[in-house]
């Protein structure tokens, strides 16, 4: 079943829905090679009973709803997507919901035209009209202003580009520094942070920041940095609290970046400090007290001194002949802890790439 | 281990052989590794020569069968591969360049390893903007068209992830140079020197640091000292002649020659000038090198001198038996050019200097060869690079003695491949 790009029966627009699917892609896959990820694979989800994809382990809540007759059709999916956690109380789909009805319609139209084999998931891309990196330049000559009538800006050396407007700089310049530069005005409490965290973060990072599955651990690990298996968290490793604010604001929640308000980020930062035993449960983080927070590991970072290591500092001509006595003997083999993908063993036996 | 490059010719030979009523055993292409190529005197004439083959007779595809050409179907295993357990999710994950399938110094665009933190952003070039703000006289916005009006340059640089070989700190782990060393690629970039863009905005004398930022959902940021930015950094839109691939930051990425790959921000949308570093997540939580005593090095930007034997290696065993053997590999240094590569076949007892071939460009991969007669006994292959600053690639144990095993990043230790008498190869460590 392949429908034309805008034809789903739902009122929505398939292409718009495809773009919106970026919000779901952190947890769901669609398409010919899609499998279950954190959430179930969504090929052909419309018109199938809830919680019915083979090989996926659903929450009891969704299984129960399915037993009570929940089938994914336009009205039910619309209600679920608007607020998953209120429509199916206890679902493990920790997604805040799509408030905008038009967006939900687009999403449903997109999901509707993906059949169980996954066709319909990817767009058929139309080649750009012009043979240039810049598609705007395809306007026919006649419609363009004459070169001699255009103006050349005065700034700079080559007079290229244009002035950035203050609103534009404000929209993109969201970075925070340890000295507080860039911090927006606002505040947020541990309590509020806990609510947002449970709704939007705990599904991946665990209720206590312990990390679900292989998702990153955010709390704990104190005094483990010189252990055999150190645990690097905000509390045990990160030098500055500004980094927490900056990172959550720019990149989290994974799959829905830039969706949090400044006060939400204050509250989440406060809550992450609380999970790491840095503040008490009645604490409120604000622009005014931000600078008073120091993380325990701040003094344990040193400058790059690799060039002073013996092997580099000596600058010796390397040995060419009879450098090591005796024959080479094997001390370690990859085979012993073979985790190469070819060997079908999926266990993480050793280090990682972080 | 799938290695179909030698399967396809055999199967077409088998088809011909059946047609010709011959027994397959008479042909080259046996089961074992050694012997496959031992054709001192063929017992029977080779039907691949004596028979007219399909491709000798019937017409192949015409022009335009593939408007964008693809590799031969017989090269289907020359692909990037991932190791799924390394990361939680494939939107923030990595895969590896098949170094054992490549030669020369340039990495084809489709084989350059990937590392994303929020999936591959899909940006129409007409919708892309680059902003310069912070401690500058004039904050500016450029379109892609604006950027193409700056003076362009092309340079070949390697990009290595700081975590390349990071799985090997505790000991031999992954079997194949694709997995142990495949987070490196080498590309000719075309774009604009960053100093031209910054001059256009006018950097304040107080401006000491640069913060590049990506337009993808991770909004990747790193702090770069202004001297490096003004020296050889580039903002590029082409790789190996064509537009950047989406997974390499289309339409615009930063190039930071010789420095860790994480700093080469993809989907580059903003450059901010400041007077202090930002200490963002990718330079505190990540990309800091934890030492044995619990302290950590930060701002370890340069990729040190390193080399790897790509063939033979676990994914590319010796199949031809004893006799003439070509050993080859790659060497590079973030400090400049590689001056010399030595090779040992006895686990570091004795070394011979390899032949550097092709262009030797600063902060680029170098190709080396070492040809020798293999007597069929077991080998312990190692390579050791020496760069223009006379830094010598250290052993893994020398690195461990200084840093412990929890650094994750910057493992440039000497790699050992054990070649068994049947020609197969394995990742080992030797004493």
Q: Which two tokens stand for residue B33?
A: 């590794």
pLDDT greater than 50 at residue B1: no
For residues B286 and A342, what is the distance between their CA atoms, to the nearest angstrom? 29
In Å, how far is B364's CA from the nearest CA of chain A? 21
What pLDDT score does B229 carry?
98
A–B interface: beta-carbon pairs under 8 A? 327
| Tokens 């230790």, located at residue | B413
For residues B75 and A229, what is the distance between their CA atoms, to the nearest angstrom? 40
B177 burial (CB, 10 Å; 0-12 / 13-18 / 19+) is buried
Closest C-alpha to B172, from B420, B356, B397, B422 = B397
* Structural Rg of chain A based on CA atoms: 27
What pLDDT score does A335 carry?
65
What pLDDT score does A162 carry?
96
For residues B27 and B285, what is the distance between their CA atoms, to the nearest angstrom? 58
- Distances from the Cα of A351 to the Cα of A63, A142, A339, B84, B127, angstroms: 38, 62, 11, 14, 40
Chain B touched by A331 (CB under 8 Å): yes
**A312 neighbourhood in chain B, CB within 8 Å:** 304, 391-392, 394
pLDDT greater than 80 at residue A336: no
DSSP state of B346: B
pLDDT tens-place string over residues A204-249: 999 999 998 889 999 999 999 999 999 999 999 999 999 999 999 9
Please state the pTM of the whole predicted model: 0.82
pLDDT tens-place string over residues A52-103: 998 898 999 999 999 999 999 999 999 999 989 889 988 888 787 888 899 9
What pLDDT score does A128 carry?
47
What pLDDT score does B243 carry?
98
pLDDT greater than 60 at residue A337: no
pLDDT greater than 70 at residue A180: yes
More confident residue, A131 or B265: B265
More confident residue, A123 or A306: A306
pLDDT greater than 90 at residue B8: no
- Which residue does chain A place closest to B280, by CA atoms? A243
Of A158, A162, A353, the CB nearest to B94: A353
- Distances from the Cα of B157 to the Cα of A97, B105, B332, B360, angstroms: 44, 10, 10, 11
A232:B285 CB<8 A:
yes
pLDDT tens-place string over residues B232-262: 999 999 999 999 999 999 999 999 999 999 9
B431:A246 CB<8 A:
no
A161:B141 CB<8 A:
yes
Domains and CATH numbers, chain B: 15-26+303-430 (2.60.40.650), 110-298 (3.90.420.10)
The answer to whether B238 and B176 are in contact (CB under 8 A) is: no
pLDDT tens-place string over residues B362-403: 999 999 999 999 999 999 999 999 999 999 999 999 999 999
Chain B touched by A345 (CB under 8 Å): no
| Tokens 């520094």, located at residue | A177
Of A26, A164, A351, the CB nearest to B408: A351
Of B124, B166, B430, the CB nearest to A331: B430
What pLDDT score does A47 carry?
79
Per-residue b/e over A316-344, b at no fewer than 16 CB within 10 Å?
eeeeeeeeeeeebebebbbeebbbbbeee
What pLDDT score does B315 carry?
95
What pLDDT score does A189 carry?
98
The answer to whether B38 and B13 are in contact (CB under 8 A) is: no
DSSP track, B389-430? T--BPPBHHHHHHHH-S---S---PBPEEEEPTTS-EEEEEE
Of A240, A318, A353, the CB nearest to B408: A353
pLDDT bucket at B2, cuts 50 / 70 / 90: very low
B174:A353 CB<8 A:
no
pLDDT bucket at B25, cuts 50 / 70 / 90: very low
What pLDDT score does A4 carry?
40
B119:A22 CB<8 A:
yes
Question: What average pLDDT is seen over chain B?
Answer: 91
Closest C-alpha to A23, from A98, A121, A99, A123 = A98
pLDDT tens-place string over residues B100-127: 999 999 999 999 999 999 999 999 999 9
Sign of torsion, CA B225 B226 B229 B230? negative
Q: What is the mean pLDDT of residues B308-333?
A: 97
**B202 neighbourhood in chain A, CB within 8 Å:** 155-156
Percentage of chain A with pLDDT > 70? 86
- Distances from the Cα of B41 to the Cα of B36, B323, B324, angstroms: 13, 16, 17
Q: Which two tokens stand for residue A303?
A: 């400058």
Q: What is the mean pLDDT of residues B338-356?
A: 98
What pLDDT score does A342 carry?
56
In Å, how far is A350's CA from the nearest CA of chain B? 7
Of A216, A230, A305, the CB nearest to B406: A230
For residues A330 and B431, what is the distance between their CA atoms, to the nearest angstrom? 7
What pLDDT score does A9 carry?
57
In Å, how far is B144's CA from the nearest CA of chain A? 7
For residues A152 and A132, what is the distance between their CA atoms, to the nearest angstrom? 23
For residues B317 and B422, what is the distance between their CA atoms, to the nearest angstrom? 9
For residues A78 and A74, what is the distance between their CA atoms, to the nearest angstrom? 6
DSSP track, B229-260? HHHT-EEEEEETTEEPPGGGTTT-EEE-TTB-
Backbone angles phi, psi at B172, to 5 degrees: -55, 130
Backbone angles phi, psi at A148, to 5 degrees: -70, -15
Q: What is the mean pLDDT of residues B146-156?
A: 98
Q: Which two tokens stand for residue A144?
A: 């363009």
Of B86, B134, B384, the CB nearest to A352: B86
pLDDT greater than 60 at residue A5: no
B175:A342 CB<8 A:
yes
Sign of torsion, CA A148 A152 A158 A164? negative
Domains and CATH numbers, chain A: 14-112 (1.10.760.10), 187-300 (1.10.760.10)
pLDDT tens-place string over residues B168-184: 999 999 999 999 999 99
What pLDDT score does B3 carry?
42
CA within 13 Å, CB half, B38: 11
Backbone angles phi, psi at B397, to 5 degrees: -70, -35
Residues 233-252 of A with CB under 8 A from B: 234, 237-240, 242-243, 246-247, 250-251
In Å, how far is A174's CA from the nearest CA of chain B? 10
B109 burial (CB, 10 Å; 0-12 / 13-18 / 19+) is middle
Three-state secondary structure call for residue B210: strand
More confident residue, A104 or B90: A104
What pLDDT score does A125 carry?
55
pLDDT greater than 80 at residue A276: yes
DSSP state of B221: B
Chain B touched by A351 (CB under 8 Å): yes
Residue B317: how many other CB atoms lie within 10 Å: 20
pLDDT greater than 70 at residue A141: no
Spatial CB neighbours of B200, under 8 Å, sequence gap ≥ 6: A155, A156, A157, A158, A160, A161, B132, B138, B140
What pLDDT score does A19 carry?
84
């Amino acid at each position: 079943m392949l429908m034309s790009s805008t034809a789903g029966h739902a009122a929505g627009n398939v292409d718009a829905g495809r773009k919106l699917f970026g919000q779901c892609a952190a947890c769901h896959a669609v398409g010919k090679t899609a499998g279950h990820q954190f959430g179930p694979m969504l090929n052909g989800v419309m018109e199938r009973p809830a919680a019915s994809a083979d090989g996926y382990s659903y929450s009891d809540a969704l299984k129960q709803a399915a037993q009570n007759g929940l089938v994914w059709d336009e009205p039910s999916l619309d209600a679920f997507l608007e607020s998953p956690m209120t429509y199916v109380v206890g679902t493990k789909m920790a997604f805040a919901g799509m408030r905008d009805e038009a967006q939900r319609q687009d999403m449903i139209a997109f999901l509707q035209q993906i059949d169980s084999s996954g066709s319909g998931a990817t767009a058929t891309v139309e080649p750009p009209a012009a043979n240039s990196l810049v598609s705007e330049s395809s306007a026919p000559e006649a419609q363009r202003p004459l070169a001699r009538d255009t103006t050349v800006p005065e700034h700079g050396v080559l007079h290229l580009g244009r002035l950035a407007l203050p609103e534009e700089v404000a929209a993109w310049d969201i970075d925070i520094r340890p000295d507080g530069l860039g911090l927006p005005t606002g505040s947020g409490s541990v309590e509020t942070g806990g609510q947002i965290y449970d709704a939007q973060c705990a599904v991946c990072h665990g209720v206590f920041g312990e990390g679900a599955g292989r998702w990153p651990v955010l709390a704990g690990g104190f005094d483990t940095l010189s252990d055999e298996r150190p645990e690097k968290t905000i509390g045990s490793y990160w030098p500055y609290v500004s980094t927490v604010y900056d990172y959550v604001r720019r990149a989290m929640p994974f799959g829905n970046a830039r969706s949090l308000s400044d006060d939400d980020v204050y509250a989440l930062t406060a809550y992450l400090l609380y999970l790491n035993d840095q503040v008490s449960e009645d604490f409120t983080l604000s622009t005014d007290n931000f600078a008073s927070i120091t993380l325990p590991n701040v003094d344990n970072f040193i400058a790059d001194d690799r060039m002073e290591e013996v092997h580099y500092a000596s600058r010796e001509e390397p040995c060419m002949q009879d450098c090591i006595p005796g024959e080479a003997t094997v001390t370690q083999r990859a085979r012993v802890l073979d985790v190469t993908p070819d060997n079908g063993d999926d266990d993480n036996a050793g280090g990682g790439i972080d | 281990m799938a290695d179909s490059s030698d399967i396809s010719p055999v199967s077409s030979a088998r088809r011909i052989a059946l047609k010709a009523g011959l027994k397959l055993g008479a042909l080259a292409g046996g089961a074992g590794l050694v012997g496959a190529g031992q054709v001192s005197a063929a017992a029977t004439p080779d039907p691949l020569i004596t028979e007219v083959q399909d491709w000798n007779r019937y017409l192949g595809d015409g022009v335009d069968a593939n408007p964008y050409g693809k590799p031969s179907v017989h090269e289907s295993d020359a692909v990037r591969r991932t190791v799924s357990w390394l990361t939680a999710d494939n939107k923030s994950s990595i895969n590896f360049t098949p170094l054992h399938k490549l030669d020369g110094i340039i990495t084809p665009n489709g084989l350059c390893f990937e590392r994303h933190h929020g999936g591959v952003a899909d940006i129409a070039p007409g919708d892309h903007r680059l902003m310069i703000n912070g401690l500058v006289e004039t904050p500016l916005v450029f379109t892609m068209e604006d950027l193409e009006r700056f003076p362009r340059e092309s340079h070949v640089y390697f990009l290595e992830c700081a975590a390349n070989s990071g799985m090997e700190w505790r000991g031999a782990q992954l079997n194949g140079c694709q997995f142990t060393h495949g987070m490196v690629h080498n590309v000719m970039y075309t774009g604009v020197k960053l100093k031209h863009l910054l001059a256009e905005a006018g950097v304040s004398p107080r401006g000491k640091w640069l913060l590049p930022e990506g337009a993808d959902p991770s909004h990747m940021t790193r702090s770069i000292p202004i001297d490096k930015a003004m020296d050889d950094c580039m903002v590029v839109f082409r790789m190996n002649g064509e537009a950047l691939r989406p997974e390499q930051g289309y339409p615009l990425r930063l190039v930071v020659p010789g420095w860790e790959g994480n700093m080469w921000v993809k989907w580059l949308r903003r450059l901010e000038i400041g007077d202090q570093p930002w200490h963002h997540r990718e330079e505190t939580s990540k990309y800091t090198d934890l030492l044995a005593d619990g302290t950590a090095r930060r701002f370890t930007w340069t990729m040190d001198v390193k080399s790897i034997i790509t063939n033979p290696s676990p994914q590319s065993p010796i199949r031809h038996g004893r006799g003439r053997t070509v050993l080859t590999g790659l060497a590079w240094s973030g400090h400049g050019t590689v001056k010399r590569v030595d090779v040992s076949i006895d686990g570091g007892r004795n070394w011979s200097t390899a032949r550097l071939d092709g262009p030797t460009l600063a902060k680029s991969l170098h190709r080396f060869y070492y040809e020798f007669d293999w007597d069929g006994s077991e080998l312990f292959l190692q390579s050791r690079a020496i760069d223009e600053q006379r830094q010598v690639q250290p052993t893994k144990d020398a690195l461990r003695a200084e840093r412990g095993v929890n650094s994750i990043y910057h493992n440039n230790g000497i790699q050992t491949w054990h070649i068994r008498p049947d020609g197969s190869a394995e990742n080992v460590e030797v004493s």
